[in-house]
Amino acid sequence: MRTPVAYFLVVSAALFTIGTVGVLVRRNALVMFMSVELQLNGVNLALVAFSRLHGDLTGQVLTFFSLVVAAAEVVVGLAIIVSVFRRRRTANVDDLAELRW
């Protein structure tokens, strides 16, 4: 018995919605960063679900490349957040707006 694709799409939409709410509501840079990752995972789940629905591997290949780019983004993003936190002692994005010219 196969799980219907609609179940995966509901979970995907829930992940994306939770990520969007996290980005819009929270002001902590680390929490916002994790929320963006939730959004990416929601999109990746939808790509894999549609790939499975159509019997094609294209969605899974796109998901693989998306995960590789997301891993590189996590390394760079966390390094920047940790560096700013060590210098400013805060991860609040409102306080980080002072870093602009």
2-21, pLDDT tens digit by residue?
899 999 999 999 999 999 99
CB 63 within 8 A of CB 44: yes
**Which two structure tokens, joined as six digits, stand for 76?**
């760079």
Could you report the per-residue pLDDT of 31-55, keeping only the tens digit for each? 999 999 999 999 999 999 999 999 9
Q: Are 52 and 15 in contact (CB under 8 A)?
A: no
pLDDT, tens digit, 9 for 90 and up, residues 89-101? 877 877 766 666 5
**C-alpha triplet 43, 79, 98: angle, nearest 5°:** 95
Distance CA 17, CA 8 (A): 14
This prediction has a pTM of 0.85
To the nearest 10 degrees (0 to 180), the angle between helices 5-25 and 29-54 is: 160
Delineate the domains of the chain, giving CATH numbers in brackets: 5-90 (1.10.287.3510)
